[in-house]
Structures are given as structure tokens and as C-alpha cells.
Amino acid sequence: MPFTSSHPSASRVRQRALLGTAMLVVLVALAGLAVYVTRDGRTPSKPSAAPASSGALTSAVPETTPPPHGVNATLPVPPDTHDPIAFGKAAAVALWSYDTRTSSQPELLDALHHWLTSETKYADRASVDALVPSPVLWTRMADNAQYATATANEAHFPASFTQALQADPGAITTAYVYAVTVTGSQSIAWRGSPRGGAEARAITLAVQCRPDRPCALAGVLPNVAP
């Protein structure tokens, strides 16, 4: 049996704290989306369609036998892109993927932290850490050589964000944060069950894309925005 990477036992107090932090990110993202979808002559009455880069993005599928000792090829590396949709898909795959055979829990956390924006006031590290199994759970997963691969099939700006077009679009120049909802699937496998099973996944991310630097992750929103 696999050990899932979710945390149903997390305290409600912590969830409320994360919610409060993430909602601040959402407010910034709303203003950011307003400018993004209206630039280059786009009309504000329709949600932006995903660009050509919205094809399925898949994490590397690990071999059924452990890779050579010391190889951490499964640790995610952020892409060099200025496209919030493309970055959001890559980030979702990174957040849904792990491999206890090749990396430790602290190593995965450190790798994911490199996806976060360097602007600490916009970086919600706690929302990212909450998606990674605890050290104790990671140890139990490692005992079974558990790993997960993921696919991002589609990404878009949440339709509800189009309402922000009536707000102050100039707010984008403060943070350049966009909300991106990604849908896909996660496959979990473990020793004795190399094929595992796939389950649908969805996530809404806050992605910062300043004009003078590649996109970075601002945080993970507590609820999926359709």
C-alpha cells in the first residue's frame, strides 16, 4: 500500500493560517491577471486561453529499479520562462512528484524552495512545505521505495479572475503575480507495484513573472479556483 503525500491530519489552526497568507497572494494575483489578459489587445470579456505551450507536461518516469547511489535526477529544477502558464504547469508537476529512492525529504524541500520567488514578502514557503510528506512519513514511504510521477494536462487563468478586470489594473506593477490553475494526474508506485495507480489532480498556484526576470513561484492557494 502506498503512503500518500497529502496531510489529512494537519491541524485546522495551521490551515487557517495558511489560508490567511494565501488569500493575500490571491488579492495580488487578481490584479496581476487583470493586466495580463488585457495586454496586447486582448478583450477583458473572455478568460485568456492557454498558449501553445499548454500541451501535457510530464515528469520523468523513474525506472522500476533504483537509480545509481547518489543520483538525484528526480529533484525538480525550475524552468527559465516568462510565461506564467508554462511555469505553472512545470511547478504543478514538481509539486506532485517525488522519489524516496533517490532523495531525502530535506533535499526535496530545498529543491522546491528554489522555485520560490526571492521576494520574501510574496513567497509563501509554508504553502509549498505543506505538500511535502513529513520526515516521519517520508521514512515510511522510503521503506517501500515509494515514488510518484505526474502529468500536467492543462493550465489556465481561473475564470473568476476575469472579474478583477474591473479593478485597478495598475496593481500588477507592484508584484506581477498571476493565478494559474493546473489540472493533471499523479501516479504513485512502490516496491512490488511498479505501475502504481493514477489519480486526477488540480491545483491553483500564485506565479510571479516580473518583466526583467524568469517566473517564480509565490505560493499554493488553499483552494482550487476553476
Query: For 171-189, what is each residue's pLDDT tens digit?
Result: 667 888 989 999 999 999 9
Domain contains 1:
no
Would 22 be classed as within a structural domain?
A: yes
Q: Which residues of 67-100 are buried (b: 16+ CB within 10 A; e: fewer)?
A: eeeeeeebbbebbebebbbbbbbbbbbbbbbbbb
Does 165 map to a domain?
yes
* pLDDT recorded at residue 197: 73
Mean local confidence (pLDDT), 158-181: 75
**Residue 95 forms part of a structural domain:** yes
Residue 41 structural domain: 12-220
Instruction: Cell 487583470: give the residue.
Output: 34
pLDDT of residue 139: 96
Distance CA 106, CA 199 (A): 25
Q: Cβ–Cβ contacts within 10 Å for residue 218, how many?
A: 31
Mean pLDDT, rounded, for 155-160:
86
Q: How confident is the model at residue 160 (pLDDT cuts 50, 70, 90)?
A: confident
The whole model's pTM is what?
Answer: 0.72
Domain count, the chain: 1
112 CB-side CA count, 13 A: 29
Q: Note whether residue 225 is domain-resident.
A: no
- Cα–Cα nearest to 158, from 115, 205, 210, 117: 205
Within a domain: 3: no
Asked whether the beta carbons of 102 and 74 are under 8 A apart, the reply is yes
Name every residue whose Cβ is closer than 8 Å to that of residue 45 and which is 6 or more positions away in sequence.
162
Residue 101 identity (one-letter amino acid): R
Binned at pLDDT 50, 70 and 90, residue 39 comes out as: very low
Does the residue 5 lie in any domain?
no
Residue 191 included in any domain: yes
